[in-house]
Structure 1
Amino acid sequence: MAGLILARAGVDVVVLEKHADFLRDFRGDTVHPSTLNLLDQLGLGAEASAIEHSELSTLDAVIDGIRVRAVDFTSLPAPHRYITLMPQWDLLSMLVTEAQKQPSFRLMLEANAHSVIQENGRVVGVEATTPDGPLRVNAVLTVAADGRTSAVRDSLGLVPADYGVPIDVLWFRVPRPTKPMRDTLANIRGGSALVTIPRPGYFQCGLLIRKGTFPEFQRAGITAFRCKIGSIAPRLTDVTAAISNFTDVKLLSVQINRLHQWSVPGALCIGDAAHAMSPAFGVGINYAIQDAVALANTLVPALRKQGADAAAIDSVCAAVQRRRALPTALMQRMQRVAHRLINSATSRTVVHNPPRLRERFVIAVVLPRIRPILARIVGYGFRPERIASGVLKPRR
């Protein structure tokens, strides 16, 4: 996204992607209203809608048989009163296709950036390995957007502060059952929690487990694993046979961390390289994209006014962190609260079946009043970004 916006603004951009393509499963695919609005602003709304996807206008949880509607996006302004679930590789391919229309954009696949180049205490580019041999890319600004295990960040000597999360997630997929099943984000039953994300033709599922306990599930065997899934979400019992063995199950080690310092002279970290987000509320893609927009909004005017002046570039990096650090910290705090609530829901009874008087009051009176607030925070984030007027060149 950063490369696309900067290229549209006429900035020369090289994007290094270490893989040969974007086809990696079990990664975030939740696109929130804030990102959908940005795609509209870029003139890509129709292209995004053409990608096979699912839409969720509410986020529901079934807790020991009681359905609770936690978030309702229909309270948001039109047109995007929902979150979209689409394969991340399709979203990335769409952005690349659009960016490659710009002469100042270049994507290099199978280019693994492993370290920065420094001269006189300043980052002036990166070194990478490619199938054709070593590659050196010189740059006025190096942007590390290479994820939570960022090699570029490591070479900068930046270490994120970790905010311990007591869970991991086991990701897998199952076909949709023959009998229709209502879209439900979270299923909590018998001390266990299962996320079921509807995608065309199947469910992307995530079983929340205590951190470090995946080997225990493997030792118990795949049959026991299938039975556990069926006990949490009984409607999935008939389709758990699709989980043939543990090669169909991917471990996601959940992290919440962030850098206290996002930049050094000549280089800036954004997205998961600056702040790894938990899967809670599915905001990782959207916060990364908002970082990219904040970078473009700040960098483009500086380049147009002051060119490649080193002090101006470093001022841009500091400004991006000032703008994005607080909303990131607030969302991560909210995620940590959500983890505590989930942990509480899996260790004791939160909602009785049938609900008791106090529980009925919360469901019927309290939740409806906070749903619009939750919809805005989850749907847009604490500081939604828009591409500033004048940043984009007119489309030809």
Structure 2
Amino acid sequence: MASPPQSPASSASPCVPPYVIALADDLSGAAETACALGGPVRLSLAAAADVAETAAAQDLVMDLNTRHLPPAEAASAVRTALRAALAGPPRLLYKKVDSQLRGNLAAEAAVYAEGAQAVVIAPALPAARRTVTGGVVHVNGVPLHHTDGWRAERAAAPRSLPEALSGLPVRTVPLDVVRSEPAALDAEFRRIAASGAHPAADAETDADLDAVAVAALRLGPGFRLLGSGGLAAALGRALVRPAAATPAPSPVQDSDPLLFVVGTAEPGAVAQIAHLTALGAHHVPLDPADLAAGTVSLPRTAGAPALTVFSIDGSAGLRPGAGRALSAALAALAAAYPGRPDLVLTGGETARTTLDALGIQELEPLGEIHHGAVHSRTPDGRRVVTRPGSYGAENSLLRIAVALRPRLAAATAPV
């Protein structure tokens, strides 16, 4: 087996535009992509028509908020954004998708492929132990369709990338080809494109994703990229452009309230929240039936606690497909929270509905606290951390709390 390719940046075609328009289907993924690309970036929650307002020497990441839309509506949103992107200054196109293939993947990918020579597909995310071999997504080494990653979805998890992208002709590119000499990988991508299909690359490491991204760049802008935050990071490493400017710090007020809105029933969330309650956080577990019915009311207090956690009580199980209604209910509670708390929002749908309820349409990414936990600032100075619901070790929320409220470090074990 050939060794992985060398430094990717030197291999990109000089005719490739160095800036990117990325289309994401949920907010946590959009924020992850904005950080992963590594360049000057604008993260927009507004409509596709604002493409012209983005500086030419800047990436634009757009949250289209389509994860839970009907497929036809999701496809229409991608088509509108794609038209706006293609009408503006030349930029590379990137489609951010869920590494567990959730959402309207087939419908959105079909539209994204319109007008492209081919779409290079690579949803592996090695940092979260999500890999692709033989065209099958694996989570911690287990095929996706044998995990519980889709337990909150209405359908069963797809058994392969070709199945997940039904309607779009897909050909798997095995690991030995991904790790072969650059010319061989380029030739395979070209061969698949010439057959009218789209290459779906196996990948287990970041080096594999680097090879995929650089190959797509060598082949020119007719080859579009579609993948998770892992491929977005590989694209960022491959592009030669100024690094993102470090935003000017704003004062951290340790006395300001900090509100966690945990919009996931992932089993790991229980242990993550326990670390916060050990610090004295006020935990409000919310019954999903009461949330969906709109019958939850929070007790009035003299002032907002310094640290509060809203979470969904998943102990009795969740009704598949109920996520959107629960996220909307959580967002309404968060928007009604007294004061002006900084926010930690887990789950892309929860993050988006909460910011919508607060009228926030743009975020300035400041960096990652840990993989996937993106620290941003709103135009009016509020701090917001977004994180996919399925990410993070047991101390994830604790690490976020300490990053936003440094005084808490003295009350914790090393994190």
- TM bracket (short chain): under 0.3
* Larger gyration radius, structure 1 or structure 2: 1
TM-score, scaled to structure 1: 0.27
More strand by share: 1
More helix by share: 1
TM-score, scaled to structure 2: 0.26
